[in-house]
Amino acid sequence: MVGGSPDRNEVQTGGLHRLCALFLSLLTLTACSPPASPPAAASSGPVTLTIGLPVQTGQDPLHGASQAARLLSFEGLTYLARDGRPHPKLAQSLTESADGLTWTVQLRDNALFHDGAPANAAAIKQSLERSVKGADRDRSPGLSDIDSVEILSEFSLSIRVRGRSRFLLDDLTVAIVKRGPNGESMGTGPFVMGSPANNELVMSAVPNYYRGKPTIDRVVWKSYPTVRTAWAGMMRGEIDFLYEVPPEAVEFIEAEDSVKLFSFLRNYAYLVVFNSRKKPFDDWQVRRALNYAIDRERLITRALNRRGQTASSPLWPLHWAYDSTVPSYSYDPSRAIALLNAARIPQAHTAPTDGAPGRLHFTCLVPDNFALWERMALIVQRDLAEIGVDMKIESVPFEVFNQRIGSGDFDAVTIELIVGNTASRPFTFWSSQSTQNVWGYRNPSLDQALDDLRRAPDDTQYKSAFRRVQEQALNDPPAIFLALGQVTRAVSNRFEVVAPPNTDILPSIPDWQQPERVRRAAH
C-alpha cells in the first residue's frame, strides 16, 4: 500500500506531447523578449514572483515557460521522490491486490479542478482513459499496462492491469486533466495559467487549493534571449527568480548578497547516441571502445565547470535501487584501441576528401544554438581523435535535428535524455519493444532485464533486475554516456525558499514565504 500526504516539493517532470518534446522540452528552457518593467516591491498587496527564462531553440518564445508552468498547474495521482519512490499526490492512498493485478485508489475528497468541479472518480477515470489511449501511452509503459479503470464510489476507483506492473505508480504521475467547454485543459494544481501575451505568462494562485492558498498570489514568467540577459534583468530588479544560472557564472553570482543559489543534480544525462542500425555501430565492441576513449572528468571540468557527475548508465544514479558497486567506464584509450582491433576496424584507411586522418569516420548531429551540447561534442571529438577516430560535427536547425532522428538519418547525435527518477523512462528509450526507441538498438539481455524490472513482485527482485540493467548497459552500451549536469537556480532575498536541500525548488513555490511578511505577522 502507498499512502500519506502529498509533498509538493517533489514532482516528476515528464508527460510531453511529441517525440521531440520528450527529448528536449525540459532542457534549458528558452525564448526571446525585451526586458520589462521592474515588479513592485514587497508590500501588503498581492505578492508576485517573476521568473526569467533564457531561451535558445527558436520555437514559440513561451513554449518553455508553458512546459515548466505545468508543474505548478497540473498534478498526477502520484509523484516521484528524489530517490524514485512513488508517493500519493491526488490519491489519498493506493492499495495493491495480492496478485498484483488490481490497484484500489482512494482519492482526496477536497481536491478541485480550476473551475471548481471536484476531482472525483468519474473525472479521473476519464482523464486516465484519455492518457492510456493517447500519446502518453507510448512514453509511459506503466500506462500501457492498464487494462481498465472502474469507479467504486465517488472518491475511489480501481485500476486493473494486464500484468503486475512496477511502472504503474511511476507513470501515474501523468497529469490529471479536465477538458473545458472550449477544449481547454484544467488541472488541480496550486496555480492556474492565463493566456500568454507579450512574451509573458501569468499564473494566479488558486484560492480553494486543497492544501491551502499559496502565499504567492501571482507567478509571472518572462522570456529572455540568453542566460546573461536574464541575469542582467535580475540585477535590474525585473525578475525575482533566474531559472538557470550558467555553470561559469555560479561563483560570480554567489558573491551577490541580494540573491541565494539553489543547486541540484538534474535527472537528464548528456550522451552521444549511435544509430545501431548502421555499421560499425551495430557492433557492441565498437560502442564500448568509444566509451573507453572519453575522459569524462575532464569533460565535466571544461564543459560544466565541475558542476556535474560522470554517467555510464541510462539509469538514475540517485534511485533507491541503483547499485553503486557496478563499475563505470574509466578513461582507458589503450583498451579502446584494443576493442577496435578486436572489432576488425582497420588501423588506417584511405582518408576521405577532406583529408581527415583516422581508422573510423562518422558524423554527429548537434542542434543549432545549443552551445553546451556543441561544447561537449567538441570535447568528445578531441578524445576520439586520440584513438584515431574522426567524428565530424554537423550543426542543423532544431526542427531538422528532430526530423532526422525520427527518420533514422544520422550516424550519431549529441543529446540530453531523461534517466529518471523512474526506470520506466530508460525502458521507453532502450527497450526493443518501445516505439520511442528510434536508435535501432537491440539487446535481448537488456530487454529481459527491463521486463523483469517492470514485473518484479518485490523490492529484492526489483533491485536484482535494476542491477542487471546497469550491467547490460555497461557491457553493450547504446551510446557514450557522458555526464549528468547540476542545475543552479537563483532567487531574490525578497523570498524565503522552503524546499528540501539538493532538490529542484520550482515545485515548492506554493510554500515560499516573504521574509517581510513573516516578520510583520510575528509582531
* 194: CATH: 3.40.190.10
pLDDT, position 347: 73
Angstrom distances, CA of residue 115 to CA of 121, 184, 209, 305, 462: 17, 11, 11, 46, 41
Q: Is 98 found in the same domain as 59?
A: no
| Residue 158 included in any domain | yes
Residues 351-389 as b or e (16 or more Cβ within 10 Å = b): eeeeeeebbbbbebbbbbebebbbbbbbbbbebbeebbb
Q: How far apart are CA 450 and CA 463, in angstroms?
A: 11
In sequence order, the β-bridge partners of residue 270 are: 416, 483
Judged against a pLDDT cut of 70, whether residue 79 lies above it is answered with yes
Q: Which of 243, 286, 248, 299 is nearest to 266 (CA)?
A: 243
Of 44-53, 82-91, 389-398, give the lowest mean pLDDT range.
44-53
| Residue 250 included in any domain | no
| Residue 45 included in any domain | yes
Q: Is 69 found in the same domain as 16?
A: no
**Residues 6 or more apart whose Cβ sits within 8 Å of residue 458:** none
Q: Is 449 found in the same domain as 324?
A: yes
Judged against a pLDDT cut of 70, whether residue 52 lies above it is answered with yes
| Residue 251 included in any domain | no
Of 162-166, 284-288, 368-372, give the lowest mean pLDDT range.
368-372
Q: Is 461 found in the same domain as 500?
A: no
pLDDT (tens digit, 9 = 90+) per residue, 333-362? 999 999 999 999 987 654 444 555 678 999
Q: Is 407 found in the same domain as 348?
A: yes
Q: How far apart are CA 3 and CA 77, in angstroms?
A: 11
| Residue 301, amino acid | T
| Residue 152 included in any domain | yes
pLDDT, position 516: 66
| Residue 256 included in any domain | no
Looking up residue 383, the CATH number of its domain turns out to be 3.10.105.10
Please count the other Cβ atoms lying within 10 Å of the Cβ belonging to residue 1: 10
Q: Is 446 found in the same domain as 359?
A: yes
In sequence order, the β-bridge partners of residue 219 are: 49, 203
| Residue 282 included in any domain | yes
Residue pair 121/157 in contact by the 8 Å Cβ criterion = yes
Q: Which of 290, 314, 279 is nearest to 417 (CA)?
A: 314
The backbone torsions φ and ψ at residue 270, rounded to the nearest 5 degrees and listed phi first, read -85, 135
CA 368 to the chain's CA centroid: 21
What number is the average pLDDT over the span 439-448?
97
Q: How far apart are CA 110 and CA 87, in angstroms?
A: 18
Domain that holds residue 153: 2-26+81-184
Confidence class for position 322, pLDDT limits 50, 70, 90: very high
pTM over 0.85: yes
Residue pair 31/51 in contact by the 8 Å Cβ criterion = no
Give start and end residues of each alpha helix (H) in 187-276. Answer: 227-235, 250-254
Burial class for 35, CB neighbours closer than 10 Å (0-12, 13-18, 19+): middle
pLDDT (tens digit, 9 = 90+) per residue, 242-263? 998 888 788 888 888 889 999 9
In sequence order, the β-bridge partners of residue 391 are: 362
pLDDT, position 23: 40
3-state secondary structure 445-490: HHHHHHHHHHHCCCHHHHHHHHHHHHHHHHHCCCEEEEEEEEEEEE
Q: Is 391 found in the same domain as 306?
A: yes
At 395 the three-state DSSP class reads strand
Greatest C-alpha distance within the chain: 81
Q: Take residue 236 and report the three cell numbers written for it.
A: 535590474
Q: How far apart are CA 415 and CA 270, in angstroms?
A: 6
pLDDT (tens digit, 9 = 90+) per residue, 84-114? 999 999 999 999 999 999 999 999 999 999 9
Confidence class for position 467, pLDDT limits 50, 70, 90: very high
pLDDT, position 57: 53
Please count the other Cβ atoms lying within 10 Å of the Cβ belonging to residue 282: 15
Q: Is 128 found in the same domain as 35?
A: no
| Residue 433 included in any domain | yes
Q: Is 206 found in the same domain as 179?
A: no
Q: Is 211 found in the same domain as 93?
A: no
- Final residue before a domain boundary, out of 165, 184, 203: 184
**Residues 6 or more apart whose Cβ sits within 8 Å of residue 417:** 23, 268, 269, 271, 273, 314, 429
What number is the average pLDDT over the span 464-473?
97
The backbone torsions φ and ψ at residue 487, rounded to the nearest 5 degrees and listed phi first, read -105, 135
Q: Is 37 left (phi over 0), alpha (psi -120 to 50) or beta?
A: beta
Q: Which of 490, 518, 31 is nearest to 241 (CA)?
A: 490
Q: How many domains does the chain have?
A: 3
Q: Which of 50, 115, 49, 75 is nearest to 511 (CA)?
A: 49
pLDDT (tens digit, 9 = 90+) per residue, 220-229? 999 888 777 8
Burial class for 183, CB neighbours closer than 10 Å (0-12, 13-18, 19+): exposed
Q: Which of 263, 267, 207, 247 is nearest to 83 (CA)?
A: 267
